[in-house]
């Protein structure tokens, strides 16, 4: 790679050929403001905030799209550029409805950061009043996420994220010019627009225009309801990322503080979804072994990711028969809380408020599915994303970083290493193989299946178990899912078991996790750092195979009888429906 | 039997809207009735250019030019002129200097200074008959190129000709082709940008309707030069006649083997497909156009990479405007030096302008570069109607600026117009007189660009809207002096940071009118008065002391708001006045202006 000599603000620098001015500046810690640039996802150069001057060019150029050339002299900051960037920011503030005090991004907003940096006055609103309020578009009927164009700065990152990460292009620009708004076509209800709620759009949004539907208030009220018992379960992936909301480095394990925070909030009982992850392996593993005995139907698809289940129901409903009938660990936990736990504690299930803390927004819709409850109550009453949980902790004034570690003990909270790795792509498959191989071979089998780990799009492996070749695949993210189904159309290979995740990287990169700023997303491998937390917990665990979980055994012995029993089917298994996008258009 | 007389009827959209098709039908019926159908050729042809006189008919061999023809005139023409050989005088154009009529088209002063190269076949051939195109050396240039020249020869000739893009960019066409040629790829594309979107512009429309084969031939030549076998014509859907004629032309060319596989028995194959626009001005921008063909929202992308390197479906693509392409066959028929001999050194060739607004001869004119603006307005355009006073010319449509009286002698070429703060643009030329309010003109153009902005980049999407809001406030009477400074500040910034040409040029009409007509802006914000009498909130028509009491104003007032005795100074009742301006236009001595009313405060 050629080295080029350039100057930035008079400073001579050597840069590799093929870099943009933004990359060159960032490498050398020279600040250039940016808003719409999201590496590999949205590189359109349309916010125009990264405008810089090149000697000899009349026009200001976008640093994110301009390649460095030998002997280029670049100015990134002078009076003209400062005034230009300020003016563009002022124009954006005129469009923005400021509600920072209650905004989900109050302390994590890329737009606000720039406004502060450039001392923006919102002068147009001061002079001419708030912008066209009748042009604001808002929808939250889906109950999972909110599209709020009053906060939108039309950077386009969400549109690109939906196109490039989920492959579904549910969100796009509607109308044009200053009347542009982002949403499904004609702002049709998101719930009927083929959205799978993977939340990649929220993770791409620099402001609060796209955000989860906030359930904090409902939880606060439940915690103060003296007639109710609040039971909380926490997903594996939450402990790998919650710390980021409190300034801890990406990849910090905050499991201990997390449980202490729950105690401080005053919940009655703390559970761990990792427990039901282990349980899921027993149920799903047994289901798989049955399919092996009956020679099909193959392949069997995992069913714990609601984003993935949404995608199958909407776009590949003909494969419903391939899905495992197992509920997700969240829903298994919810069912047990309202039956097993309630009976054991002598509570009326209607007096239990079952809350889950999830890295996921699709879980909010999953909890509301008709099948997820009985006798007039729901197994999971409220789902809080990692982000909402962090806000709740902050609002209560709990000093998270100063909390001592604690760990819940007992039924529904103990887990093996196999349960915790559910949060990373390949984790479910690895956990399943640990158990299935040992059950079938009837002797100790390997613990680790490292070839299933990592972020490459589709991972495949074959294993010889009890003389039979088992072909497995691990698929994550909408694009890979689409690719895999295309592959299935033409391949001769029989896959036996496929793990699907709606989000690239698995749950640790779920739509409910703390939002990482664009600049950090490109510097740091967020997915690998968060996944490493889970694999480390697994590595250190005493028990690493789901069937070794004593409390799971006790649950079967005393309550469910055995995996796939009638009771198990009643509580821990579910059904699916064929759906289609835009089904409700007149 | 050979035709002894040929009747060419203008079939351009303008004249078709005035029933030229019905006129042709009337001719057919009449000729059959008279029994002379075989002797008379009836041809629906392309735009003659003198649209103000439409529907236009030209009769050969004597080249009689008839104007404002109605269906009811057809019988007279047939009986008198076609049968008896007596041309119909009252359908001819009046000579403005004498009391006589002008008989022949070439005698019209309108055509004297024009040189029709891009429009060479418009008004001469039947665009639906490929044989007529071939008869006028059509496809001969392609034959020469394919059989005698190499691709590099073609590029060299194009560069030597000095032809520059006629769509507004003004980039040297040969150099553009060279970039595409130099990009390595097995697949390349040629695109004709027929999305003509400037309000009031219809140059490309005339060429597409009147001479569609010239575009097909040019695209094939371009394909040969750069190494492409597939062309697309992106036509705006609002040109249904052009779309029809192009489709027909493509089919005919294929039938004749002039498009498709192995043209002229060489290894070169070229196919052309049509793609329709969907009502977005921004899709005339080449990268937005490319996105539109690909099936995406028509939003521009940053350049570089330029389409010549990475264009349609990421392949090297050459995009050219219709008028640019129309010149290409001529360059190869008559040579680059011929082309260079016309026009100026830096801007060889001609330019088609769509003359509109306050001008007597509205229509299409094609002049060699180097002709002065004054000649276009007065000699060709026939000056301002009703003896009103010239105020400004707007060139370049919503991307251009205005040119005032003091610069009328400027010789038209790319550099000169840009130096004046305007631009050539695609060729729209709107003439304004004293009854035009320049603030309102700026607002009109900005309203267009605000509506057409795609919304992708911040400065254009938000900035132009702010500018429009300010202009609206000014025209309603709520403007301040600071607003004028703000318009300039916003305008300069939007020019510097917009992503595409639409945003980069949108502030031009505003900045240009502020520069040349600042006093009008100041009158709007300080005096709260619109001197031209257009902005109704700021218009107060007042009759001054030089009134001669001729009563013309009172007689023209639609609401009887003017009173006064003959030979006495008249007055306008402001409560009745609807600010239509009819009185101002009727006054022979200019005694009526829009002025600030002196209001008396009664205590």
Nearest-CB residue to A84 (from B299, B302, B493):
B493
User: HEC string of B403-426?
Assistant: EEHHHCCCECCHHHHHHCCCCCCC
What dihedral angle (degrees, nearest 10) is formed by the CA atoms of B58, B63, B68, B73? -80
Give Cα separations from A39 to A14, A67, A164, A575, B32 (angstroms). Answer: 22, 15, 12, 39, 73
Q: Which residues pair with B432 in a beta bridge?
A: B392
* Average pLDDT in chain A: 95
CB contact (8 A) between residue A128 and residue B493: no
Please write the tens of the pLDDT for every residue from B11-25.
999 999 999 999 999
CB contact (8 A) between residue B493 and residue A67: no
Interface contact A320, partner B, CB < 8 A: no
Q: Mind listing the domains of chain B with CATH numbers? A: 5-107 (3.40.30.10), 130-339 (3.40.50.11540), 350-433 (3.10.20.600), 438-525 (1.20.1440.230), 540-602 (3.30.70.20)
Lowest mean pLDDT among A282-286, B7-11, B33-37: B33-37
Q: How far apart are the first and last CA of chain B?
A: 91
Residues A418 and A434: beta-carbon distance below 8 Å: yes
| Count of alpha carbons within 13 angstroms of residue B388, beta-carbon side | 21
Counting every residue written for chain B, the total comes to 603
Secondary structure of residue A547 in the 3-state scheme = helix
Place B97 in a pLDDT band, splitting at 50, 70 and 90: confident
Residues B452 and B282: beta-carbon distance below 8 Å: yes
| pTM recorded for the entire structure | 0.94
Secondary structure of residue B173 in the 3-state scheme = helix
CB contact (8 A) between residue B498 and residue A48: yes
d(Cα B174, Cα B348) in Å, to the nearest integer? 13
d(Cα A65, Cα A60) in Å, to the nearest integer? 12
Chains A and B form CB pairs within 8 A to the count of 90
The pLDDT > 90 percentage for chain B reads 92
Encoded tokens for B571 = 């007055």
Nearest-CB residue to B466 (from A47, A84, A124):
A124
Question: Residue A236: which of A356, A127, A100, A102 has the closest Cα?
Answer: A356
Place B601 in a pLDDT band, splitting at 50, 70 and 90: very low
Place B600 in a pLDDT band, splitting at 50, 70 and 90: very low
CB contact (8 A) between residue A179 and residue B493: no
Encoded tokens for B143 = 């034959």
Each residue of A18-45: b (16+ CB within 10 Å) or e?
A: ebbbbbbbbeeebebbbbbbbeebbbbb
Please write the tens of the pLDDT for every residue from A293-320.
999 899 999 999 999 999 999 999 999 9
Give Cα separations from B10 to A385, B15, B46, B340, B381 (angstroms). Answer: 70, 6, 6, 31, 20
Give Cα separations from B58 to B8, B45, B106 (angstroms). Answer: 5, 10, 11
**Helix H or strand E encompassing B129:** none
Place B602 in a pLDDT band, splitting at 50, 70 and 90: very low
d(Cα B163, Cα A380) in Å, to the nearest integer? 72
Q: What is the pLDDT of residue A126?
A: 85
Residues A82 and A76: beta-carbon distance below 8 Å: no
d(Cα A154, Cα A95) in Å, to the nearest integer? 10
CB contact (8 A) between residue B462 and residue A91: yes
Sequence-ordered list of residues with C-beta below 8 angstroms from that of B603, at least 6 positions apart, any chain: none
CB contact (8 A) between residue B497 and residue A47: no
User: HEC string of A444-491?
Assistant: CCCCCCHHHCCCCCEEEEEEEECCEEEEEEEEECHHHHHHHHHHHHHC
d(Cα A415, Cα B310) in Å, to the nearest integer? 54
Backbone angles phi, psi at B234, to 5 degrees: -95, 105
Place B212 in a pLDDT band, splitting at 50, 70 and 90: very high
**Helix H or strand E encompassing B348:** none
Please write the tens of the pLDDT for every residue from B348-407.
999 999 999 999 999 999 999 999 999 999 999 999 998 899 999 999 999 999 999 999
Please write the tens of the pLDDT for every residue from B492-551.
999 999 999 999 999 999 999 999 999 999 999 999 999 999 998 899 899 999 999 999
Our CA-based measurement puts residue A122 at a distance from the nearest CA of chain B, in whole angstroms, of 13
Q: What is the pLDDT of residue B230?
A: 98
Please write the tens of the pLDDT for every residue from A104-119.
999 999 999 999 999 9
DSSP for residue A314: H
Residues A418 and A281: beta-carbon distance below 8 Å: yes
Q: What is the pLDDT of residue B603?
A: 44
Cα angle vertex A96, ends A91, A100, to 5°?
130
Nearest-CB residue to B497 (from A48, A177, A179):
A48
Q: Which residues does chain A have within 8 Å of residue B504's beta carbon, measured at their own beta carbons?
A: 59
Sequence-ordered list of residues with C-beta below 8 angstroms from that of A223, at least 6 positions apart, any chain: A230, A265, A266, A267
Interface contact A177, partner B, CB < 8 A: yes
Strand pairing category for A229-234 and A352-358: parallel
d(Cα B25, Cα A536) in Å, to the nearest integer? 88
- The total of other beta-carbon atoms located within 10 Å of residue B94's CB is 12
d(Cα B569, Cα B423) in Å, to the nearest integer? 46
Using CA coordinates, name the residue in chain B closest to A62: B497
Please write the tens of the pLDDT for every residue from A184-203.
999 999 999 999 999 999 99
Q: Which long-range contacts (CB under 8 A, 24 or more apart) does B417-420 make?
A: none
CB contact (8 A) between residue A47 and residue B457: yes
Mean pLDDT of all residues in B36-62: 93
Please write the tens of the pLDDT for every residue from A387-427.
999 999 999 999 999 999 999 877 789 999 999 999 999 99
Mutate to test the interface with B, among A22, A35, A46 (most CBs of B within 10 A): A46
Strand pairing category for A145-148 and B93-94: unpaired
d(Cα B480, Cα B484) in Å, to the nearest integer? 7
Each residue of B303-327: b (16+ CB within 10 Å) or e?
A: eebbbbbbbbeebbbbbbbbbbbbb
Q: What is the pLDDT of residue B434?
A: 92
d(Cα B8, Cα B65) in Å, to the nearest integer? 10
Residue positions of A annotated with a catalytic role = 284, 287, 304, 324, 363, 366, 371, 507
Residues B263 and B255: beta-carbon distance below 8 Å: no
Query: Is the predicted pLDDT of residue A340 greater than 90, yes or no?
Result: yes
Interface contact A208, partner B, CB < 8 A: no
Q: What is the pLDDT of residue A132?
A: 67
Question: Residue A92: which of B446, B458, B9 has the closest Cα?
Answer: B458
Q: Which residues does chain A have within 8 Å of residue B469's beta carbon, measured at their own beta carbons?
A: 128
Counting every residue written for chain A, the total comes to 586
Q: What is the pLDDT of residue B95?
A: 85
Helices (H), B91-167: 109-112, 130-135, 140-148, 151-161
Encoded tokens for A191 = 């719930």
Q: Which residues does chain B have within 8 Å of residue A91's beta carbon, measured at their own beta carbons?
A: 458-459, 462-463, 466
Give Cα separations from A60 to A568, B117, B288 (angstroms). Answer: 66, 39, 21
Query: Is the predicted pLDDT of residue B421 greater than 90, yes or no?
Result: no
* Average pLDDT in chain B: 94
Query: Is the predicted pLDDT of residue B301 greater than 70, yes or no?
Result: yes
Query: Is the predicted pLDDT of residue A440 greater than 90, yes or no?
Result: yes
Place B96 in a pLDDT band, splitting at 50, 70 and 90: confident
Give Cα separations from B300 to A55, A192, B285 (angstroms). Answer: 25, 30, 7
Please write the tens of the pLDDT for every residue from A244-254.
999 999 999 99
Using CA coordinates, name the residue in chain B closest to A95: B462
CB contact (8 A) between residue A176 and residue B454: yes
Q: Which residues does chain B have within 8 Å of residue A67's beta carbon, measured at their own beta carbons?
A: 304
Cα angle vertex B278, ends B277, B284, to 5°?
50
Nearest-CB residue to B450 (from A84, A92, A178):
A178
Radius of gyration, alpha carbons of chain B: 26
d(Cα B14, Cα A576) in Å, to the nearest integer? 62
Q: Which residues does chain B have within 8 Å of residue A84's beta carbon, measured at their own beta carbons?
A: 493, 496-497
**What interface predicted TM-score (ipTM) does this complex get?**
0.93
**Helix H or strand E encompassing A537:** helix A526-540
Q: Which residues does chain A have within 8 Å of residue B499's beta carbon, measured at their own beta carbons?
A: 45-46, 48, 62
């Amino acid at each position: 790679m050629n080295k080029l000599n350039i100057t930035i603000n008079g400073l001579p620098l050597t840069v590799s050929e093929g870099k943009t001015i933004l990359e060159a500046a960032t490498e050398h810690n020279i600040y250039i403001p940016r808003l719409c640039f999201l590496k590999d996802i949205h590189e359109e150069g349309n916010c125009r905030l990264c405008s810089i001057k090149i000697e000899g060019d009349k026009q200001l150029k976008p640093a994110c799209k301009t390649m460095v050339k030998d002997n280029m002299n670049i100015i990134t900051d002078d009076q003209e550029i400062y005034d230009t960037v300020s003016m563009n920011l002022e124009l954006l503030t005129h469009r923005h409805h400021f509600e920072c005090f209650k905004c989900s991004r109050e302390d994590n907003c890329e737009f606000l950061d720039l406004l502060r940096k450039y001392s923006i006055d919102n002068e147009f609103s001061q002079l001419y009043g708030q912008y066209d309020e009748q042009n604001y578009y808002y929808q939250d009927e889906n109950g999972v996420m909110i599209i709020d164009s009053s906060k939108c700065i039309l950077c386009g990152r969400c549109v690109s994220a939906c196109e490039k990460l989920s492959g579904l292009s549910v969100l796009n620009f509607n109308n044009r010019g200053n009347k542009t708004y982002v949403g499904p076509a004609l702002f049709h209800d998101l719930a009927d627009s083929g959205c799978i709620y993977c939340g990649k759009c929220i993770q791409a949004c620099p402001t609060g225009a796209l955000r989860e539907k906030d359930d904090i208030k409902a939880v606060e009220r439940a915690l103060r309801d003296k007639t109710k018992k609040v039971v909380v379960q926490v997903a594996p992936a939450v402990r790998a990322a919650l710390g980021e909301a409190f300034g801890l480095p990406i990849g910090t394990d905050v499991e201990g503080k997390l449980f202490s925070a729950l105690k401080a909030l005053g919940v009655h009982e703390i559970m761990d979804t990792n427990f039901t992850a282990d349980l899921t392996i027993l149920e799903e593993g047994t289901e798989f072994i049955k399919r092996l005995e009956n020679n099909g139907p193959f392949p069997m698809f995992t069913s714990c990711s609601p984003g993935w289940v949404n995608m199958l129901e909407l776009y590949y409903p003909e494969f419903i028969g391939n899905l495992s009938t197992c509920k997700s660990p969240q829903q298994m936990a919810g069912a047990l809380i309202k039956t097993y736990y309630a009976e054991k504690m002598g509570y009326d299930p209607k007096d239990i408020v079952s809350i889950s803390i999830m890295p996921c927004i699709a879980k909010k819709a999953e909890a509301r599915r008709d099948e997820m409850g009985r006798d007039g109550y729901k197994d999971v009453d409220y789902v809080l994303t990692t982000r909402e949980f962090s806000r709740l902790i902050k609002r209560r004034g709990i000093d998270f970083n100063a909390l001592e570690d604690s760990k819940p003990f007992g039924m529904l909270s103990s887990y093996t290493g196999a349960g915790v790795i559910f949060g990373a792509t390949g984790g479910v498959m690895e956990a399943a193989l640990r158990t299935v191989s040992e059950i079938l071979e009837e002797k100790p089998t390997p613990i680790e299946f490292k070839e299933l780990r990592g972020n490459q799009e589709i991972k495949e492996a074959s294993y010889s178990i009890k003389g039979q070749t088992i072909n497995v695949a691990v698929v994550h993210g909408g694009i890979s899912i689409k690719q895999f189904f295309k592959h299935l159309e033409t391949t001769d290979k029989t896959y036996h078991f496929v793990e699907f995740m709606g989000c690239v990287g698995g749950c640790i990169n779920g739509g409910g996790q703390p939002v990482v700023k664009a600049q950090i997303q490109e510097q740091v491998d967020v997915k690998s750092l968060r996944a490493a937390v889970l694999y480390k917990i697994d590595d250190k665990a005493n028990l690493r195979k789901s069937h070794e979980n004593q409390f799971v055994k006790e649950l079967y012995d005393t309550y469910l009888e055995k995996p796939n029993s009638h009771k198990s089917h009643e509580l821990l298994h579910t059904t699916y429906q064929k759906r289609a996008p835009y089904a409700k258009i007149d | 039997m050979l035709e002894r007389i040929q009747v060419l009827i203008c079939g351009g959209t303008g004249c078709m809207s005035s029933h030229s098709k019905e006129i042709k039908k009337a001719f057919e019926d009449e000729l059959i009735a008279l029994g002379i159908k075989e002797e008379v050729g009836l041809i629906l042809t392309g735009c003659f250019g003198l649209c103000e006189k439409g529907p236009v008919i030209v009769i050969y061999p004597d080249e009689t030019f008839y104007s404002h023809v109605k269906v009811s005139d057809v019988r007279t023409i047939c009986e008198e002129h076609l049968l008896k050989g007596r041309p119909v005088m009252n359908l001819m154009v009046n000579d403005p200097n004498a009391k006589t009529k002008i008989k022949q088209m070439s005698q019209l002063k309108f055509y004297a200074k024009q040189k029709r190269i891009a429009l060479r076949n418009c008004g001469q051939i039947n665009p639906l008959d490929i044989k007529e195109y071939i008869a006028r050396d059509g496809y001969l240039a392609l034959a020469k190129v394919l059989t005698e020249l190499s691709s590099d020869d073609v590029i060299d000739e194009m560069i030597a000709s000095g032809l520059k893009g006629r769509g507004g960019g003004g980039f040297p066409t040969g150099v553009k082709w060279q970039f595409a040629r130099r990009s390595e790829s097995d697949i390349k594309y040629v695109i004709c940008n027929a999305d003509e979107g400037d309000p009031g512009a219809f140059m490309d429309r005339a060429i597409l309707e009147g001479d569609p084969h010239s575009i097909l031939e040019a695209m094939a030549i371009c394909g040969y030069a750069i190494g492409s076998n597939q062309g697309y014509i992106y036509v705006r859907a609002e040109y249904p006649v052009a779309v029809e004629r192009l489709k027909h032309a493509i089919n005919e060319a294929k039938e004749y083997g002039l498009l498709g596989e192995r043209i002229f028995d060489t290894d070169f194959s070229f196919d052309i497909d049509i793609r329709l626009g969907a009502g977005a001005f921004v899709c005339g921008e080449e990268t937005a156009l490319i996105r539109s063909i690909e099936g995406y929202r028509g939003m521009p992308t940053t350049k570089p990479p330029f389409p010549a390197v990475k264009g349609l479906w990421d392949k090297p693509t050459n995009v050219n405007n219709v008028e640019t392409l129309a010149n290409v066959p001529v360059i190869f028929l008559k040579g680059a030096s011929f082309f260079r001999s016309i026009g100026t050194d830096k801007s060889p060739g001609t330019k088609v302008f769509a003359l509109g607004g306050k001008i007597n001869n509205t229509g299409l004119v094609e002049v060699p570069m180097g002709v002065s603006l004054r000649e276009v307005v007065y000699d060709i355009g026939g000056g301002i109607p009703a003896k009103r006073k010239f105020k400004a010319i707007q060139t370049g449509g919503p991307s251009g600026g205005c040119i005032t009286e003091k610069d009328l002698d400027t010789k038209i070429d790319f550099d000169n117009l840009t130096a004046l703060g305007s631009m050539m643009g695609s060729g729209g030329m709107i003439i304004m007189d004293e009854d035009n309010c320049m603030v309102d003109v700026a607002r009109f153009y900005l309203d267009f660009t605000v509506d057409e902005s795609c919304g992708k980049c911040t400065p254009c999407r938000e900035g132009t809207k702010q500018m429009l809001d300010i202009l609206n406030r000014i025209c309603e009477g709520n403007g301040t002096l600071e607003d004028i400074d703000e318009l300039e500040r916003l305008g300069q910034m939007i020019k510097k940071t917009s992503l595409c040409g639409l945003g980069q040029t949108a502030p031009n009409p505003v900045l240009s009118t502020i520069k040349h007509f600042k006093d009008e802006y100041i009158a709007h914000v300080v005096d709260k008065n619109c001197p031209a009498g257009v902005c109704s909130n700021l218009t107060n028509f007042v009759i001054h002391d030089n009134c001669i009491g001729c009563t013309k104003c009172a007689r023209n007032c639609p609401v009887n708001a003017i009173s006064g005795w003959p030979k006495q100074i008249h007055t306008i009742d402001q409560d009745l006045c609807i600010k239509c301006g009819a009185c101002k236009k009727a006054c022979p001595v200019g005694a009526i202006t829009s002025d600030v009313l002196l209001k008396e405060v009664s205590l």
